């Protein structure tokens, strides 16, 4: 479901692009799965997307799948079309933007365990100090529409206070659900008079895709087809919050 934030950012940046989105709702969350299982599931999803017709590109709109499956997907795809993850663009943006090199990462347990952000940030900035914090509770909060209020503040305090103790100046939202909570996170920092730069991995990924991808349409708004593997009715309600529009949603068996 979190990958819808990437769709929203892509639609805002390049509305002409035709998007086929597959949300593997029957097997979520990926953030608690093993690397082997994440790779297997991701390749199954790719096979279904390809069965619908040729692709011009693929965005792996999940940080856990980006950490564990992108290399396997690129090997499988070869030169047929480009493959973008959401991890590398966010890491690169944080490495370039941080003044002190002290960078915090909030992500799911699976993404944190992979070490993907720490490695990617240090590839771009070898002297960086990366402080990672698993924040699994932010996913259900975002999906249930809890983006403000005392419950959200209590959870954010638990996750963000240790990062402030490490004197970070930049925070990566390393899960595509987390942008829905970005206003609450920004307010939490402001209330403590902390000026922390927040890097939205979904927006960073959309920026990278739009920088790399040449849109070849005549300017009309591209079709958005959203497919899910379970729970289409509930997904429609959540999708409207994530996207700010009511999309066409289809349940599929992969």
Tell me which residues are annotated as active site: 62, 175
Structure tokens at 254: 């992969």
* Distance from chain centroid for Cα 98: 20
Structure tokens at 112: 């944190």
Q: Are 241 and 9 in contact (CB under 8 A)?
A: no
Q: Are 135 and 109 in contact (CB under 8 A)?
A: no
DSSP characters for the chain? -TTHHHHHHHHHH-TTS-EEEEE-TTS--GGGS-HHHHHHHHHHHHHHHHHTS--S-EEE--HHHHHHHHHHHHHHHTTSS-EEESHHHHHHHHHHH-SSSEEEEEE-HHHHHHTHHHHHHHHH-TT-EEEEEE-TTHHHHHHTT--SSHHHHHHHHHHHHHHHHTT-SEEEE-STTGGGGHHHHHHHHHHTT---EEEEHHHHHHHHHHHHPPP-S-SPPPPEEEEESS-HHHHHHHHHHHHSS--EEEE---
CA atoms 213, 79, 118, 36: torsion sign: positive
């Amino acid at each position: 479901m979190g990958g819808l934030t990437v769709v929203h950012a892509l639609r805002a940046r390049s509305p002409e692009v035709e998007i086929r989105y597959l949300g593997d709702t029957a097997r979520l969350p990926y953030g608690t799965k093993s690397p082997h299982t994440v790779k297997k599931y991701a390749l199954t999803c790719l096979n279904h997307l390809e069965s619908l017709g040729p692709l011009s590109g693929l965005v792996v709109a999940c940080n856990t799948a980006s950490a564990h499956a992108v290399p396997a997907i690129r090997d499988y795809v070869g030169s047929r079309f480009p493959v973008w993850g959401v991890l590398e663009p966010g890491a690169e943006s944080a490495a370039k933007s941080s003044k002190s090199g002290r960078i915090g990462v909030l992500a799911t347990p699976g993404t944190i365990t992979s070490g993907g952000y720490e490695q990617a940030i240090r590839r771009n900035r070898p002297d960086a100090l990366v402080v990672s914090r698993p924040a699994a509770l932010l996913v259900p909060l975002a999906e249930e529409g809890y983006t403000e209020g005392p419950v959200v503040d209590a959870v954010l305090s638990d996750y963000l206070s240790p990062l402030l103790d490490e004197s970070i100046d930049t925070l990566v939202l390393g899960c595509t659900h987390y942008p829905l909570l970005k206003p609450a996170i920004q307010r939490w920092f402001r209330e403590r008079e902390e000026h922390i730069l927040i890097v939205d991995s979904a927006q960073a990924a959309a920026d990278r895709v739009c920088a790399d991808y040449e849109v070849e349409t005549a300017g009309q708004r591209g079709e958005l087809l959203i497919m899910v593997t379970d729970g289409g009715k509930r997904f429609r309600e959540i999708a409207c919050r994530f996207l700010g529009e009511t999309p066409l949603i289809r349940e599929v068996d992969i």
